[in-house]
Amino acid sequence: MNPKQMDPQNPLPPSKKRSLLGPMIGVGSFLLLIVILAYVNSRLDIIEDSLQYQPPAPAAVSDMGPIDRAVTGKTVYVPVYSHVYSLGGQPFLLEATLSVRNTDQKRPINLTSVRYYDTKGTLIEDFLKTPLPLAPLESTELLVEKKDKRGGAGANFIVEWSASQKVNEPIIEAVMVGIHSSGNISFVSPGRPISKQDKDPGP
């Protein structure tokens, strides 16, 4: 049989088969990658939805120790920025999250007051209607949305906490995040104690 004659059962010569095999594998790999990325994105969307911010729910303070018997606690000033300035004084809007973390591994604390003030020192909002208990190592967050421009560049939180026995001090800080087409920014603003109470726990 003439070697150049095509086999009717196998019309393509081996060299042609090899030349077509590469692109086919490439296309298949590309389609598989698209399917994987679509699956990953859908899973991330589900995860993000499950992590959507929810304000802290009220709980029974009596389970964590009565407030009127507090032996330790502090009032903490936390700088917050609803916007900062850039490009010659243009406002850059930010979303702020106040984070309060009980660092004590054994003892609870009570978050007794969280008040939000604007640049002029005017009270904007009292975030807690009733004291909020935090169990050992528990954290809570309070959100000031980007669209809320009432605070201004000099806004602040005044946070008060107490405990019925000596505890490790909680970490109280604000996290600011801004996402714009012109650029992104994020930074942390730690709280600063401005007063404290320490009493003898007695017998």
pLDDT in tens, 37-69: 665 565 655 555 555 656 666 554 444 444 445
pLDDT of residue 89: 86
What kind and span of H or E run contains 184? Answer: strand 183-190
- Class in CATH terms, 71-197: mainly beta
pTM of the model: 0.68
CA distance 143 to 37: 32
High-pLDDT (> 90) share of the chain, %: 48
Distances (CA, A) of 152 to 16, 91, 97, 140, 202: 70, 10, 15, 23, 44
pLDDT of residue 62: 42
What confidence tens digit (pLDDT) does each residue in 118-135 have? 999 999 999 998 999 999
pLDDT at 10 over 70: no
pLDDT at 167 over 90: yes
- Domain ranges across the chain: 19-48, 71-197
Distances (CA, A) of 185 to 79, 87, 146: 17, 14, 13
* DSSP three-state, residue 69: helix
